C-alpha cells in the first residue's frame, strides 16, 4: 500500500539533538478505563519529536519492512501541492489536526485507490465526512490520545487570560516595570462561574482540573452526565448553550466541529454572554465567527479570547485574530506536546496494524466505517461537511 502522511514542518534550527527530559511518566489507562494505544511494536523513543516531517510518526521502519510505501510531506495547500499529487494513487492518508490536510470531496474523487483516512490526534473535521461516507472511505482517529493535554492547555489559558499574564509578560520583555499597567485588567478566578460547551473527554477533564480553584462549574452537552458526576463536581447542567453563556464568566468550547456547531459563537450568541466574559476555544476555530470575536474584544463585550485553533490552519498571516486586542492565541499546540505525540504515534500504528491484518479497529477510534458514521463518530458528529473555505490555508506564507 501507499501511505501519504502530512505532518507539520521541522524546527527551523533542525531536529533536536537532545530533549529537556530523558523519559516520560508511564501511564497505562485514561480516566474512563480505556487503555492507551497498544501497538505490537514501536520504533521511536517516547518523548521525541514525532509530529514533524522528519519525525514521520515513527512509522517508516515498520511500513517499509512490511512492503509498504511511505511518503511524508508538509506541502499540503494550494494548487499543485505535493500532498495533492501524492494522494492520487495513495491507499491511506494520515494527517494531524494541527497541520490539517483538508480532505475535500474533490480530493477524494482524484484518488480512486483511497480507502482510509487517519487522524493522528483527535478531530476529523478536516475530512469531508459526508464525502467519505459517499465514497466508502473509512475514517479513524486516535481518540483520547491528547485529550488530557488539551485539558491542561485550557486551564493554562483560563488562568492566563483572567490574570492578564500575557500583558504582564510583555511588559517584562520590553524592559518595563509599571505595575499599574500590569494589573489593571488582572483578576482572581476564584468564585467565578466557569462553563464548558460539551462535557466529553476534554470538557469534563477541564472542569475537574478547574474545581480546586474554587469556581462554580457549569456544562452543556447533548448527552447529560451521570448524576454522580454532577454531585461530585457540584456541576450545574444547562439544556442549551444560551442558558450557559448567560451566567458564566468563562466559557470553554470543547465540542466537535460539524454543520450543527459551525459558527455557533456568532454576534448573536456573544451578545447573550455576560459583559466582560472570557472565551477559551481549543475545539475548532470555525465554531467561532472570527469577525464577531474580534469586534466583541474591541467593544468590551468580551474581556479576553484564548484560542488554540484557527480556521483555516495554518491561519493566513493577515488573519484578524493575530492582531485583535486581549487575545492569548497559540498555533494549535495544545494536543501535540511531546507526551501526546508518543500516544498518537502509537495509536496510528495500532490502527495501521489492524488495517493490514484485516482486524476491526477499536470502536473508540472509529469515525466512519462502511459508509456510515460509527463508533465515536456516531456519538460525536453529524452528517455533512465542515471543510468549506479551507482553501484559504494557501494564503499562509512561511516565515
| Helix ranges (DSSP H) in the chain | 60-65, 82-87, 105-109, 129-134, 147-162, 165-173, 179-183, 201-210, 227-233, 241-247, 267-271, 290-299, 338-356, 376-380
| Cα 375 off chain centre by | 19
* All three cell numbers of 63: 511500513
Which CATH superfamily groups domain 2-145+336-375+382-395?
NAD(P)-binding Rossmann-like Domain (3.40.50.720)
Q: Collapsing DSSP states into helix, strand and coil, what is residue 288?
A: strand
Alpha carbon distance 112, 87 (integer Å): 9
String of b and e for 88-123 (b: at least 16 CB within 10 Å)?
eebbbbbbbbbbbbbbbeebbeebeebbbbbbbbbb
Catalytic residues: 146, 284, 313, 332
Residue spans of the domains in the chain: they are 2-145+336-375+382-395, 147-322
Query: How far is residue 378's CA from residue 368's CA, in Å, rounded to a whole number?
Result: 8
Which residues fall within 8 angstroms of residue 322, CB to CB, at 6 or more apart? 315, 329
Is the domain 147-322 a CATH 1.10.10.10 member?
no
Give residue-wise pLDDT tens across range 202-259: 999 999 999 999 999 999 999 999 999 999 999 999 999 999 999 999 999 999 999 9
- How far apart, in whole angstroms, are the C-alpha atoms of residue 110 and residue 131? 12
Give the tens place of pLDDT for each residue, 286-300.
Answer: 999 999 999 999 999
**What are the pLDDT digits (tens) for 342-376?**
999 999 999 999 999 999 999 999 999 999 999 99
366's grid cell: 472509529
343: CB partners within 8 A, 6+ apart: 36, 37, 142, 145, 146
pLDDT in tens, the chain (399 residues): 999 999 999 999 999 999 999 999 999 899 999 999 999 999 999 999 999 999 999 999 999 999 999 999 999 999 999 999 999 999 999 999 999 999 999 999 999 999 999 999 999 999 999 999 999 999 999 999 999 999 999 999 999 999 999 999 999 999 999 999 999 999 999 999 999 999 999 999 999 999 999 999 999 999 999 999 999 999 999 999 999 999 999 999 999 999 999 999 999 999 999 999 999 999 999 999 999 999 999 999 999 999 999 999 999 999 999 999 999 999 999 999 999 999 999 999 999 999 999 999 999 999 999 999 999 999 889 888 999 999 999 999 987
* pTM of the predicted model as reported, rounded to 2 decimal places: 0.94
C-alpha 67: how far from chain center: 32
What does DSSP say about strands 116-119 and 92-95: parallel, antiparallel, or unpaired? parallel
Amino acid at each position: 500500500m501507499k501511505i501519504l502522511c502530512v505532518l507539520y514542518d521541522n524546527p527551523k534550527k533542525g531536529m533536536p539533538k537532545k530533549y529537556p527530559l530523558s523519559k516520560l511518566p508511564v501511564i497505562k489507562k485514561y480516566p474512563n478505563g480505556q487503555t492507551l494505544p497498544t501497538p505490537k511494536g514501536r520504533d521511536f523513543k517516547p518523548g521525541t519529536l514525532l509530529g514533524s516531517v522528519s519525525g514521520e510518526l515513527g512509522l517508516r521502519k515498520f511500513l517499509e519492512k512490511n512492503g509498504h510505501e511511505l511518503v511524508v510531506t508538509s506541502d499540503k495547500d494550494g494548487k499543485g501541492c505535493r500532498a495533492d499529487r501524492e494522494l492520487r494513487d495513495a491507499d491511506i492518508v494520515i494527517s494531524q489536526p494541527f497541520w490539517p490536510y483538508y480532505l475535500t470531496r474533490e480530493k477524494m474523487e482524484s484518488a480512486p485507490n483511497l480507502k482510509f483516512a487517519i487522524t493522528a490526534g483527535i478531530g476529523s473535521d478536516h475530512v469531508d465526512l459526508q464525502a467519505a461516507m459517499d465514497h466508502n472511505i473509512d475514517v479513524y482517529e486516535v481518540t483520547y490520545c491528547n485529550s488530557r493535554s488539551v485539558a491542561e492547555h485550557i486551564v493554562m489559558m483560563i488562568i492566563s487570560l483572567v490574570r492578564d499574564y500575557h500583558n504582564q509578560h510583555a511588559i517584562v520583555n520590553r524592559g518595563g516595570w509599571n505595575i499599574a499597567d500590569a494589573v489593571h485588567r488582572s483578576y482572581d478566578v476564584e468564585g467565578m462561574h466557569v462553563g464548558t460547551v460539551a462535557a466529553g473527554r476534554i470538557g469534563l477533564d477541564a472542569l475537574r482540573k478547574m474545581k480546586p480553584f474554587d469556581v462554580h462549574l457549569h456544562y452543556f452537552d447533548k448527552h447529560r452526565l451521570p448524576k454522580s458526576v454532577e454531585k461530585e463536581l457540584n456541576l450545574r447542567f444547562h439544556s442549551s448553550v444560551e442558558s450557559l453563556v448567560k451566567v458564566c464568566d468563562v466559557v470553554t468550547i470543547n465540542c466537535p466541529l460539524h454543520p450543527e456547531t459551525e459558527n455557533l459563537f456568532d454576534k448573536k450568541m456573544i451578545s447573550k454572554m455576560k459583559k466582560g466574559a472570557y472565551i477559551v476555544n481549543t475545539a475548532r476555530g470555525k465554531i467561532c465567527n472570527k469577525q464577531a470575536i474580534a469586534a466583541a474584544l474591541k467593544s468590551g463585550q468580551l474581556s479576553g479570547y484564548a484560542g488554540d485553533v484557527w480556521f483555516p490552519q495554518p491561519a493566513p498571516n493577515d488573519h484578524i485574530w493575530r492582531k485583535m486586542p486581549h487575545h492569548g492565541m497559540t498555533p494549535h499546540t495544545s494536543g501535540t506536546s511531546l507526551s501526546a505525540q508518543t500516544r498518537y504515534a502509537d495509536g496510528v500504528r495500532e490502527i495501521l496494524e489492524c488495517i493490514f491484518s484485516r482486524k476491526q479497529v477499536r470502536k473508540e477510534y472509529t469515525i466512519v466505517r462502511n459508509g456510515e458514521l460509527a463508533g465515536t463518530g456516531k456519538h460525536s458528529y453529524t452528517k455533512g461537511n465542515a471543510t468549506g473555505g479551507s482553501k484559504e490555508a494557501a494564503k499562509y506564507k512561511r516565515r
